[in-house]
Structure 1
């Protein structure tokens, strides 16, 4: 029986431990390495033979590779033979669509059970990538009530980096955009979310556990 070699990436050590334990319940998978940043994952993939990457979407702080859409795009382009499963709490349809356009094998919610995670992995390695389980709807904090699903891909990237502690000029440099563009995209996000100031934006995003 073929064993699939898996690399894990998440900036939260406890999540790495939990995901590793869930994946290794199935003897088809062998976790060959773990990373806590985008840079560590790239080094791992260059060093080890890997079939599958299970990576968090949010790993801010790496000014070389970034995270989110920028980093996933880098992985897809530079490691085309590796299947990528994105682990996230994001339910923003624009973000999910963008991930599939980039070519990821699947997206799974962080709240998934071990059974669901293994089902998603099995589907992906057999060429049946999907979002599993489906994003929450209605009254969920990740549904439409939170209005987070209304942000565009670029607005989502900007506010995600903003709430992680980055300043406007740092975000502009990381995303290769002008300071003026970043300011405009943050302002557009605030209008969509119904907040008036940067402090209100931070409070809103932290209340809804935006980086979880």
Structure 2
């Protein structure tokens, strides 16, 4: 069923069921996306399944067949053996980085008990920090976070995507004496660095007086 809500905006309503692929959950779309919507590629959408609303990019399976990726926490609250009332609305872009993450704080990408060093790269400092924490390649983090200058908001959303827990607010030393926690991301003169168990990773010769702020990462 299609509902016209504006010149460029359509809402599609249908029933679907959940299925599991590897360690992720998906819901099939019972019509050909290309034919019905005229859209192709990695299509960003707003989805409502029962009372759960979220954003995601549809997963193409070929020939106009797409699946909806469903977060584990949402999937666990839906009954997999019955049909689920669903609405799907194509949108121009996703509003958050952690839109269709397979991870959660309860099921993070990994337990942080070691760091594989990634050399600091100018313009990708925030991405390097997240990659070392998540234990994944820099390219994989870039695919989620994008390239270019990082910000605290982008870093925290990408940590959320990977299920990595962190403190609720940043600490600003303001030139006073301070002791860094076991693990944190540091804003060092507007460059993001990773501190882990007594050392900075991926970079050398850090001037502590230029530390603007840091956010603790919970191990």
TM-score of the superposed pair, with normalisation by structure 1: 0.27
Relative to its length, the structure with more helix (as a share) is 1
TM-score (normalised: structure 2): 0.26
Q: Flag the structure with larger Rg.
A: 2
